[in-house]
Amino acid sequence: MSPTLFLFSVLLGSTMAAAQAPPLRPGFYMDTCPQAELIVRDVIKNAMARETRSVASVMRLQFHDCLVNGCDGSLLLDDSPNMVGEKEALSNIDSLRSYQVIDEIKEALESSCPGVVSCADIVIMAARDAVVLSGGPNWQVRLGRLDSLTASQEASNDIMPSPRANATALIQLFTRFNLSTKDLVALSGSHSIGKARCFSIVFRLYNQSGSGRADPAIEPGFREKLDKLCPLGGDESVTGDLDATPERFDNQYFKDLTNGRGFLNSDQTLFTYPTTKDYVKTFSQSQKEFFKAFVEGMIKMGDLQSSQPGEIRRNCRVVNSQPVEVFLDA
Ligand code: HEM
Ligand SMILES: *[C@@H]1O[C@H](CO)[C@@H](O)[C@H](O)[C@H]1NC(C)=O
Ligand SMILES: *[C@@H]1O[C@H](CO)[C@@H](O)[C@H](O)[C@H]1NC(C)=O
Ligand SMILES: *[C@@H]1O[C@H](CO)[C@@H](O)[C@H](O)[C@H]1NC(C)=O
């Protein structure tokens, strides 16, 4: 190693953010940014007042961030000349939204406590707040994540599930992340809020499993409604509600599944398969059981950690520029 390169890495190691994350814990910012959680809640409240759906969109970001190399804000990185990010991965492009709400939170936090709160933690706090403000359960979030230095579109394409998936495939996927069948059913209950595109269901309306017919699990009255919303050859960017009460976080989603009124195939399949059906029934009968299992699932999913070193990004869309020249000039 040349002397210059050596200096380089010492400076990188000692003064820059690239580091291994500390263990996660509640109240992580109590000393360094005591008002962090209040600031996040406030921005989410305002975003919700502007557009109710935005909180569902923000909550979904946790799922798409955490499954791909852990909860490390990798999802939030824009493409750069030397990196293809995750925003344009198959499940994300033209689908994930409200990234600007995360930007707004980051700006508010940077002006109060510069360089302290990670984007990865913002996603976790924002998802919790989205649930609370929609009428769902409240819980303490564990914090202390670092933001990734990179992202992987390939990994996202490989991991994130299709709305066509059946329960067997979904159980398998969740098992890879140490998430149980119960976690899968409870976390799918996040579809208690928000919307999806016709793009995500036309196959099950008109050609389920290549049959040339609709998914027989769809209740006929509901199918008529979906056919009208999403006609064959129509505009697939049109959206429909994921359950009958899309602005309230409640157990209506599970009641809908028991009546053949699930929107996505990946939703309805949970009532078709015996291994997941009992959980659907339980949650449809007890909102309390659902809320409890949902919170457990969100915490477990939030505990998925990156194996890579990270930093506290200044802007959630780009990695911090490495101020190496500054040190060498000094
Ligand atoms: C179990 C596997 C899952 C599949 C296959 C799945 C798939 C989807 C699809 C296809 C959409 C609509 C996308 C579109 O049409 O543009 C969607 C929306 C949504 N997903 Fe999932 N999802 C799953 C699990 C989850 C989990 C675990 C969460 C969060 C904890 C979540 C939260 C959401 C939310 C809140 C929306 C609505 C977003 C909005 O209105 O912008 N999903 N999901
Ligand atoms: C479920 O999906 C997987 C993966 O797409 C497929 O291999 C399997 O045959 C499906 N199972 C059933 C019972 O349809
Ligand atoms: C799942 O749990 C096992 C055993 O505790 C652990 O070795 C593995 O890293 C975990 N996998 C993930 C993706 O967290
Ligand atoms: C339905 O799906 C099958 C198998 O994927 C395909 O061969 C067939 O062309 C599709 N039919 C229509 C009308 O899209």
Residue 148 lies in a domain: yes
Residue 111 shares a structural domain with residue 177: no
Q: What is the pLDDT of residues 192-244, one digit of tens each?
A: 999 999 999 999 999 999 999 999 999 999 999 999 999 999 999 999 999 99
Asked whether residue 11 carries a pLDDT value surpassing 90, the answer given is no
Percent of the chain whose pLDDT exceeds 70 = 92
How confident is the model over 64-116, as pLDDT tens digits? 999 999 999 999 999 998 899 999 999 999 999 999 999 999 999 999 999 99
Asked whether residue 80 is assigned to any structural domain, the reply reads yes
Domains: count for the chain: 2
The whole-number average pLDDT for the span 114-135 is 98
Is there a single domain that holds both residue 62 and residue 81? yes
In-domain check, residue 191: yes
- Is there a domain that residue 7 lies in? no
Q: Do residues 236 and 132 both lie within one domain? A: no
Q: Are residues 91 and 73 in the same domain?
A: yes
> 17: pLDDT confidence band, cut at 50, 70 and 90?
low
**Predicted model pTM:** 0.93
Same domain for 113 and 22: yes
| Whether 41 and 136 share a structural domain | yes
Per-residue pLDDT at 64: 98
Q: Is 195 exposed, middle or buried (CB count within 10 Å of its CB: 0-12, 13-18, 19+)?
A: middle
* 64 carries an active-site annotation: yes
Q: How confident is the model at residue 322 (pLDDT cuts 50, 70, 90)?
A: low
- Mutate which of 157, 190, 248, 298 to test ligand 1's pocket (most atoms within 8 Å of Cβ)? 190
Res. 119: pLDDT tops 50: yes
169 ligand 2 Cβ < 6 A: yes
- State the Cα–Cα distance between residues 43 and 290, nearest whole angstrom: 27
User: Same domain, yes or no, for 252 and 313?
Assistant: no
Same domain, 150 and 24: yes
Token digits of residue 277: 């059906």
What residue numbers bound the domain in which 246 lies? 167-299
Q: Do 112 and 212 belong to one domain?
A: no
231 within some domain? yes
Per the domain annotation, does 227 fall within a domain? yes
Tell me what the pLDDT averaged over the chain comes to. Answer: 93
Cα of 20 vs centre of ligand 1, distance in Å, is 30
